[in-house]
Amino acid sequence: MTDTAPRPTLEAVAARAGVSRATVSRVVNGGDGVREPLVERVRRAVEELGYVPNQAARSLVTRRHDAVAVVVAEPETRVFADPFFALQLRGISKELTAHDNQLVLLLTEGRDDHARVGRYLAGGHVDGALVFSLHLDDPLPELIQRAGVPTVFGGRPGWSDGTTDVVYVDSDNRGGAREAVRHLVGLGRTRVAHITGALDQTSAADRLDGYRDVMGDADPELVVRGDFTPAGGERAMRELLDRCPDVDAVFAANDLTASGALRVLRERGRRVPEDVAVIGFDDMLPVAEQTDPLLTTVRQDIEEMGRLMARLLLRDLDRRSGGATPAGVVLPTTLIRRASA
Amino acid sequence: MTDTAPRPTLEAVAARAGVSRATVSRVVNGGDGVREPLVERVRRAVEELGYVPNQAARSLVTRRHDAVAVVVAEPETRVFADPFFALQLRGISKELTAHDNQLVLLLTEGRDDHARVGRYLAGGHVDGALVFSLHLDDPLPELIQRAGVPTVFGGRPGWSDGTTDVVYVDSDNRGGAREAVRHLVGLGRTRVAHITGALDQTSAADRLDGYRDVMGDADPELVVRGDFTPAGGERAMRELLDRCPDVDAVFAANDLTASGALRVLRERGRRVPEDVAVIGFDDMLPVAEQTDPLLTTVRQDIEEMGRLMARLLLRDLDRRSGGATPAGVVLPTTLIRRASA
DNA sequence: GTGAAAGCGCTAACAA
DNA sequence: TTGTTAGCGCTTTCAC
C-alpha cells in the first residue's frame, strides 16, 4: 500500500505562476475571462506541480458534490441472480461519468440499513439520488422524500397515485405484455396461460394487466403466481399443467421464470413450441439465448433505462429545465422472436 | 423532485444549546471530555434541529472522507453476464457500511476511462481503493500506484512478481483446480480434459496450473482454450470432441464454461456423467443449479472475498496495524458434489 | 471541562 | 481582465 503524499494547493500554483489564487481558480474552472498568456502560465504551473483541486474545499463553498447516490433496496438476493442490476448500473455509470459525476452506491439489506441510507441522503453528501423502489411496502421512498433530495425512481413506484410529482423511468410493461400475448393468440393458441412475477412489484402487476387486456375473458385458472425466479417458474408450471392440462401457451413474467417453465415442460414431455408455446420478458441474453429452445421474449432496454434515469436527474440538478421535469418516462419494448413461440 | 432545504450548522446547534461550537463538535464526535449535563443539552439541540454534520467541511480539516472507491475494470461485458461482480460488491458494501464508509463505484469501459479514474483517485476524494485487476496488461495498477492511494486488489494481479508489497485477496484457484481434477481421476477417468478460462487473467492461469499439477504428463491435446463464457465452452467442447473422441472427463475453468460444454455434450449424445464427467468452478448458483445434470463444481466464497478486501483496506487506513498488512490472502475452495461428476 | 480563535482549500462578490 | 477579501462549516490547538 502506498503512502499519501502532500498535495499542492491553489495557493502553491498561484505562487508558481505569479498570479492570484482567483486567477488560478478561474483557469481551473474553464478559464473564461482570463487572457491567453496567463491561462498558459497557470496551466503549466498546474501541470508541473501535479495540482488536483481539493473536492471537499470546493464542495464546502459551492454546495455541489458532483456525486449521485444509487440506492438499491434488495432484501432478497434475487437481484444478484440476474444481470438486471449490473446492466442498469452500467447505464447509470456511463451517463454520470459523461457529466463528471460520481456514483455512490448504497446497497440496503435490512431495516437498519434504511435508517443509514436516510441519514446519508439527509447528510447532503450527494446532489441527488437514483432509487430502485422494488416493493410496494418499501419505507425508502418515504425516507427519501423527507431527506429532501432530488430523486428519480427506477420502475414506477407502487405508492405513486399519479398525482404527485415523483419522477420515474419505466418500461412499457403493460404494452409489452399485450404484444406477447397477442403474438401467442396470433399463433392460434387458445389456452394462453400467464405465470406472474412477484406481484408486490409494479412491473409484475403491469404485465398481468397487459395479459388481461388481451385475455380478459379467459379462464382465471390460467393465471398462476410466480416470483420472477426459475424455481418459481417451475413450481407455477407444474401447478398449471395439473390444473389445465390443455394449456397450449405460456406468457412468463420474465425470462428466468420462462426458463423454469421450459424445464418442467421438457420434463413432462411437452414439446415447445409445438405443444406449448412460451414467451418470456426482459431478453436477458445469458438466459434467453441459453434455453432450449431459444426463448422468444419481450426486450426492454435496461441499460438505456439506467442512462435515462441519470440524465433526468442531472437535468433537474442543473436547474436549466425551464419546464417541469416529466413525471414519468416509459420506454417501449420490442418482441424478439426466437424459437419458443 | 423535492427541493433542498437549508441545513442547520454547528453554530446553530451551539446557539440553541447555549454552548460553544467546540463543545458541540466534541459531543457530535463521541462526547469525550464533556460533562454529562452538557452532552444531554447538546444532544437535544441536535435532535430538535435535525442537525447532520456537513461532510465536506469535516473532510476539509480531517482529510478523511470515510469513502472507498471500488474500481471495476471491465472492457468486456462478461462481468455483467454472471453474478460474480454483484456478489463481491455486496460483500464489500456490507463491510464498508459496517464501518461507516461509503462506496464510490468506478466502472471503466475504455482507455479514456482509465485516465478519469486515475485523476479521481489522485484527487483525494477517497481514502482508499478496492480494485479488480482483471487482465494482465491492464494499465490501471500503474495509474493507481502513481496516485498514491492505499489499495487492495481483488484477485492476484498478474504483474505482481511477489516481491512488491501489493495487497490482494484471491481464491485458491490452483488448489481448487487440483481438487477437481483429483476427483475426476478418483472416479477412474483417464482422459481428463481442461477447458481453460481467459488466460490473460491469473485465475485462469492458476486453474490451468492446478490441472497440470495433477495431469502433468497427460496428452496436451486435452487442454483447450476457452474464455469463461458459455459460448467459449461450447466451442472448446466441440474442438475437444473432434480432437479427442475418447475424452471421459472435463474440468471447465468456470461454471459458465461448463454449461456450454454440457450443452454440446448433450447435443452430441454423450451422457453426463456416464460417458463424460464434468466439473465446473465458482459454484455460481443460478448456473450450477440449473444445468442438466446438476453441476459438480468448486466453490469459492465470493462475497467473503469482497468482505475481506474491504476489511484489509480499512485496517490499513486506521494505521492501527502494528505489523505490516499481509501481502496476499488466499481463500480456500471446496468441492461441491452434485450430479455431473 | 469549556471556549476563543485559527485555519483546512476553495469560490465568488466586489474593487481596482 | 485581474486581485483582494470574505467566508463555506468544521476540527483543533491553546488559553482559561
For the record, the C-alpha cell of A282 comes out as 426482459
**B251: phi then psi, degrees, rounded to nearest 5:** -105, 110
**Does residue A122 lie within 7 Å of nucleic acid chain D, judged by its CB?**
no
Report pLDDT for A122: 80
Q: Is the peptide bond before A53 cis (omega within 30 degrees of 0)?
A: no
Give the C-alpha separation, A13 to B250, whole Å: 62
User: pLDDT by residue (tens digit) across A7-40?
Assistant: 899 999 999 999 999 999 999 998 888 899 999 9
Residues 190-229 of B with CB under 8 A from A: none
For residue B192, list its beta bridge partners. Answer: B249
Q: Distance from A185 to chain B by nearest Cα, in Å?
A: 30
Nucleotides of D under 7 A from a protein CB: 1-5, 7-13
Residues 244-263 of B with CB under 8 A from A: 259, 263
* Kind of pairing between the strands at A334-336 and A296-299: antiparallel
Q: Does the residue A3 lie in any domain? A: no
Nearest CA in chain A to B57: A60
Range of the domain at B50: 10-62
Give the C-alpha separation, A145 to A138, whole Å: 13
| Cβ(A146)–Cβ(A129) below 8 Å | no
Report pLDDT for A101: 92
List the B67-73 sheet strands across, edge first.
Answer: A328-331, A167-171, A151-154, A128-132, A67-73, A102-108, B102-108, B67-73, B128-132, B151-154, B167-171, B328-331
| Cβ(B39)–Cβ(B76) below 8 Å | no
The residue type at A124:
G
Residue B232, pLDDT above cutoff 60? yes
Q: Which of B259, B241, B251, B257 is nearest to A290 (CA)?
A: B259
The reply to whether B29 touches chain A by the CB within 8 Å rule is: no
Report pLDDT for A162: 57
Does A43 lie in the same domain as A187? no
Give the lowest-confidence range in A62-66, B64-68, B118-122.
B118-122
CATH of the domain at A24: 1.10.260.40
Does B207 lie in the same domain as B234? yes
Report pLDDT for B284: 86
User: pLDDT by residue (tens digit) across B7-49?
Assistant: 899 999 999 999 999 999 999 998 888 899 999 999 999 999 9
B202, containing H or E segment: helix B202-215
Residue B290: pLDDT band by 50, 70, 90 thresholds? confident
> In the 44-103 stretch of chain A, whose C-beta falls under 7 Å of nucleic acid strand D?
57, 60-61
Report pLDDT for A108: 86
For residue B67, list its beta bridge partners. Answer: B102
Residue B217 gets which letter from DSSP? T
Q: Does the residue B136 lie in any domain? A: yes
Residue B221, pLDDT above cutoff 50? yes
Residue A241 Cα distances to A2, A180, A185, A226, angstroms: 62, 21, 19, 14
CATH of the domain at B152: 3.40.50.2300
Q: Which of A144, A142, A1, A66 is nearest to A314 (CA)?
A: A66
Does B182 lie in the same domain as B102? no
Q: Does the residue A308 lie in any domain? A: yes
The reply to whether A243 touches chain B by the CB within 8 Å rule is: no
Which of residues B147 and B4 earns the better pLDDT score?
Answer: B147
Asked whether the beta carbons of residue A1 and residue B167 sit closer than 8 angstroms, the reply is yes
**A302: phi then psi, degrees, rounded to nearest 5:** -70, -45
Does B18 lie in the same domain as B127? no
Residue B165, pLDDT above cutoff 80? no
Low-confidence ranges of chain A (pLDDT < 70): 1-5, 75-82, 160-164, 319-325
Q: Does the residue B337 lie in any domain? A: no
Mean pLDDT along residues B233-244: 97
Residue B165 gets which letter from DSSP? -
Residue B319 Cα distances to B65, B92, B127, B166, B315, angstroms: 15, 20, 12, 17, 7
B176, containing H or E segment: helix B173-186
Q: How many domains does chain B have?
A: 3
Provide, as residue numbers in chain A, all residues whose Cβ is less than 8 Å from the Cβ of B290.
230, 259, 263
Report pLDDT for A85: 79
Does B234 lie in the same domain as B212? yes
Residues 34-53 of B with CB under 8 A from A: 50, 52-53
Provide, as residue numbers in chain A, all residues whose Cβ is less than 8 Å from the Cβ of B114.
none
Asked whether the beta carbons of residue B93 and residue A116 sit closer than 8 angstroms, the reply is no
Report pLDDT for A291: 86
* Kind of pairing between the strands at A277-282 and A249-252: parallel
Residue B163, pLDDT above cutoff 60? no
* Secondary structure class of B40 (helix, strand, coil): helix
Does A46 lie in the same domain as A29? yes
Q: Does the residue B3 lie in any domain? A: no
Report pLDDT for B75: 57
Provide, as residue numbers in chain A, all residues whose Cβ is less than 8 Å from the Cβ of B292.
263
| Cβ(A125)–Cβ(A66) below 8 Å | no
Nucleotides of C under 7 A from a protein CB: 1-5, 7-13
Report pLDDT for B2: 45
Does A284 lie in the same domain as A221? yes
Q: Which nucleotide is nearest to A11 if distance is taken from CA to C1'?
A: C9
Q: Does the residue B341 lie in any domain? A: no
Report pLDDT for B321: 46
- Interface A-B, measured as beta-carbon pairs within 8 A, has a size of 154
The reply to whether A93 touches chain B by the CB within 8 Å rule is: yes
Asked whether the beta carbons of residue B81 and residue A286 sit closer than 8 angstroms, the reply is yes
What are the CB-based long-range contacts (under 8 Å, 24+) for A266-270?
A266/A292, A268/A241, A270/A241
Number of CB atoms found within 10 A of residue A164's CB = 10
Phi-psi region at B50: left, alpha or beta (left = phi > 0; alpha = psi -120 to 50): left
Query: How far, in Å, is the CA of A26 from the C1' of nucleotide C13?
Result: 14
| Cβ(B151)–Cβ(B167) below 8 Å | yes
Q: Is the peptide bond before B273 cis (omega within 30 degrees of 0)?
A: yes
Does A294 lie in the same domain as A217? yes
> In the 36-65 stretch of chain B, whose C-beta falls under 7 Å of nucleic acid strand D?
51, 53-54, 57-58, 60-62
* Residue given cell 456537513 in the structure block: B54
* Kind of pairing between the strands at A102-108 and B102-108: antiparallel
Provide, as residue numbers in chain B, all residues whose Cβ is less than 8 Å from the Cβ of A157.
none
Residue B160: pLDDT band by 50, 70, 90 thresholds? low
Does B54 lie in the same domain as B40? yes
Q: Which of B284, B288, B314 is nearest to B300 (CA)?
A: B284
Distance of CA A5 to the CA centre of its chain: 39
Q: Does the residue B166 lie in any domain? A: yes
List the B192-195 sheet strands across, edge first.
Answer: B223-224, B192-195, B249-252, B277-282, B296-299, B334-336
Number of CB atoms found within 10 A of residue A212's CB = 18
Report pLDDT for B320: 45
- The domain boundary, picked from A62, A85, A102, lies at A62
Enter the pTM of the model.
0.89
Does B160 lie in the same domain as B259? no
The reply to whether A67 touches chain B by the CB within 8 Å rule is: yes
What are the CB-based long-range contacts (under 8 Å, 24+) for B138-146?
B138/B73, B139/B114, B140/B71, B140/B73, B140/B108, B140/B114, B141/B166, B143/B114, B143/B115, B143/B117, B143/B118, B144/B71, B144/B118, B145/A2, B146/B118, B146/B122
Does A167 lie in the same domain as A178? no
Give the lowest-confidence range in A24-28, B78-82, B144-148, B216-220.
B78-82
For the record, the C-alpha cell of B115 comes out as 485516465
Report pLDDT for B81: 59
Query: How far, in Å, is the CA of A28 from the C1' of nucleotide C16?
Result: 23
Q: Is the peptide bond before B293 cis (omega within 30 degrees of 0)?
A: yes
Q: Which nucleotide is nearest to A60 if distance is taken from CA to C1'?
A: D8
Residue nearest to nucleotide C8 (CA to C1'): B61
Q: Does the residue B1 lie in any domain? A: no
| Cβ(A284)–Cβ(A256) below 8 Å | yes
Report pLDDT for A136: 78
Asked whether the beta carbons of residue B102 and residue A120 sit closer than 8 angstroms, the reply is yes
Report pLDDT for A163: 55
SS3 letters for chain A?
CCCCCCCCCHHHHHHHHCCCHHHHHHHHCCCCCCCHHHHHHHHHHHHHHCCCCCHHHHHHHHCCCCEEEEEEECCCCHHHHCCHHHHHHHHHHHHHHHCCCEEEEEEECCHHHHHHHHHHHHCCCCCEEEEECCCCCCCHHHHHHHHCCCEEEECCCCCCCCCCCCEEEEECHHHHHHHHHHHHHHCCCCCEEEECCCCCCHHHHHHHHHHHHHHCCCCHHHEECCCCCHHHHHHHHHHHHHHCCCCCEEEECCHHHHHHHHHHHHHCCCCCCCCCEEEEEECCHHHHCCCCCCCEEEECCHHHHHHHHHHHHHHHHCCCCCCCCCCEEEECCEEECCCCC
* Kind of pairing between the strands at A128-132 and B192-195: unpaired
Residue B141: pLDDT band by 50, 70, 90 thresholds? confident
The reply to whether A124 touches chain B by the CB within 8 Å rule is: yes
| Cβ(A262)–Cβ(A340) below 8 Å | yes
Query: How far, in Å, is the CA of A294 from the C1' of nucleotide D8?
Result: 60
Does A275 lie in the same domain as A202? yes
Nearest CA in chain A to B76: A90
The reply to whether A9 touches chain B by the CB within 8 Å rule is: no
